[in-house]
Structure 1
Amino acid sequence: MARLYDAALKGDVHSLNNLLQEDALILERCIIERGRYTQSPLHVAAKMGHLDFVKTVLEANSTMRFAHDEDGMTPVHVAAIHGKIDVLETFHSEEPQAIRELTKSGETVLHLCVKHNQMEALLLLLNHKDEIDLELLINSEDSDGNTILHLAVIDKQVEIDMIDLANEICNKILK
């Protein structure tokens, strides 16, 4: 498993393919413990932005995109938090349902984009209103009762004008 984790960390698709040849079920047994967090190699590759590695894992094990780590986050959530736009786009294009997954705290991927000031990722997802139930995600409340607009105002983490963000969201819904 250490070799698999190292391959994910480096984005080494060649090593991943070699590991899959040695053990075709390695991804099914691959929950990797590092410190206090348990993550799949897909979580690690998504965090690092290793697009080719992500695509290879999804070809070998497409259900891994729904795997939750100990914090209740999927690889999609991890990609959004770290602003890995290409990875996020890949997850969306291959399985839009993955965008709808919630964390343990009831947060959507949109909540995480706002909380971590990933506006490019947020706007990317807003542009896919036809494939995901955007209105539902925008109005979704986390476990504290906050929508994405609440978070943007409360935490004051968003460095853009909130009126512009609200207008952008409304325009995406109405188009």
Structure 2
Amino acid sequence: MLGAMIRLFKVKEKQRELAENANGGVPFKKHTAGELRLHKDISELNLPSSCTMTFPNGKDNLMNFEVSIRPDEGYYLGGTFLFSFQVSPIYPHEAPKVKCKTKVYHPNIDLEGNVCLNILREDWKPVLNINTIIYGLYHLFTEPNWEDPLNHDAAAVLRDNPKMFESNVRRALSGGYVGQTFFQRCI
């Protein structure tokens, strides 16, 4: 009985879609649960003034967007860092994939842009949202963590010689070499 009802609903839905398309209406597009949740998250965003969100592929593609973070305190004061977000259709049951598009000298972000943030890995829970991730990323710039590094060299310098770390960050932000690695100006 239930199977027959479900088939009936699918037939009715297909008839409605065909009718809309035949009448010159906009084709009906179903949204995944991930898209619906992401739309809710975006509508409820409460970003710090130092963060902005953009949709390079237009508002029709909410599942891929960018966030720009400009820390207003700490070692990275004045720098601008761009992150790309790719959100899975099964979001929030899977954390978004986040990459830093700005090459940065940072203990928790490697030179390929991979980000070490616990809520993007083992501590992800469906109750978390995009706002939480953005605040987590912002926090990486105000308080970099040498205890959970992706860039082990930067972590060791931060741990052993914070003054040298600060000097290396300033050099990288201004556009220059830290060791053998060149960083584009982002300040």
Q: Smaller-chain TM-score range? A: under 0.3
Q: Between Structure 1 and Structure 2, which shows a larger proportion of strand residues? A: 2
Q: Between Structure 1 and Structure 2, which shows a larger proportion of helix residues? A: 1
TM-score, with normalisation over the residues of structure 2? 0.23
TM-score, with normalisation over the residues of structure 1? 0.24
